[in-house]
Chain A
């Protein structure tokens, strides 16, 4: 069983502040690292798929970095807005081909107005 850890478990951030959280994963047999945004009562929505060490991806105010050698990825949110409140999941993919993802338990982000 692969170990994918996310920290912190939950986070309260003031509107307008920037924040970041971490996903740790095995550094061996890495294929891809996925980030998802999951709002309550909805299904997970893909943010990024990252495959290369040193990769940086950006979508609006959200960006992510990847370090496959040390086994971590950071997700950053700049200027948090109430609509950013959600659970952010990372998922590790090993080997080649789509064999299913191993998810972390998520970081639950609450933006306070």
Chain B
């Protein structure tokens, strides 16, 4: 009964390095999301995915890349990390069944520090 997990939970990296944050869900939810949480901004959507091989930009996608080759995984890559990407990153998933809106379920978060 793992639900939705994120790894690593904590990461320190240097400016310019590539970093990948992993997200895995066991519910076979169609939809997956990446948010970042910053003081003064709340949660902001980076990217989302409606199904495997379908991804779309959210509010703050610049500097990030996502992929969704399998339904259960939705990795987020920072191609060349910058200090402004220091944040807490949350992955979420949900299922949408026609007209019935489903809630989003959040992972535990990854704290990323870019030096």
Which one of A14-22, A41-49, A73-81 is at the B interface? Answer: A41-49
In the A-B complex, the 5 residue pairs with the closest CB atoms: A43-B106, A46-B103, A105-B42, A100-B45, A103-B43
Task: Evaluate whether A49 and B41 lie within 8 angstroms (CB atoms) in the complex, with A42-B108, A43-B109 already known.
Answer: no
Q: Are A101 and B104 in contact (CB under 8 A)?
A: yes
C-alpha gap A105/B40 in the complex (Å): 7
Interface size class of B (residues with CB under 8 A): 20 to 34
Interface size class of A (residues with CB under 8 A): 20 to 34
**Residues A4-63 near B (CB distance < 8 A):** 31-32, 34, 42-46, 49, 51
Task: Evaluate whether A51 and B101 lie within 8 angstroms (CB atoms) in the complex, with A1-B59, A44-B90, A105-B41 already known.
Answer: yes
Residue of B at shortest CB range from A104? B42
Residue of B at shortest CB range from A6? B42
Q: Which of A46, A100, A105 contacts B105 (CB 8 A)?
A: A46
Does B50 reach chain A (CB closer than 8 Å)? yes
In angstroms, how far is the closest chain A Cβ from the Cβ of B77? 18
Task: Evaluate whether A98 and B94 lie within 8 angstroms (CB atoms) in the complex, with A46-B103, A105-B40, A105-B41 already known.
Answer: yes
**Residues B68-115 near A (CB distance < 8 A):** 90, 94, 96, 101-109
In angstroms, how far is the closest chain B Cβ from the Cβ of A36? 8
Q: Which of B40, B44, B107, B108 contacts A103 (CB 8 A)?
A: B44
Other A-B contacts than A1-B59, A99-B48, A103-B44, 4 sampled, CB-CB below 8 A, are A43-B106, A89-B43, A100-B33, A100-B48
Q: Are B42 and A103 in contact (CB under 8 A)?
A: yes
In angstroms, how far is the closest chain A Cβ from the Cβ of B68? 14
Of the listed residues B96, B105, B106, the one surrounded by the most CB atoms of chain A closer than 10 A to its CB is B106
C-alpha gap A103/B42 in the complex (Å): 7
In the bound complex, residues from chain A placing their C-beta under 8 Å from that of B35 are 103
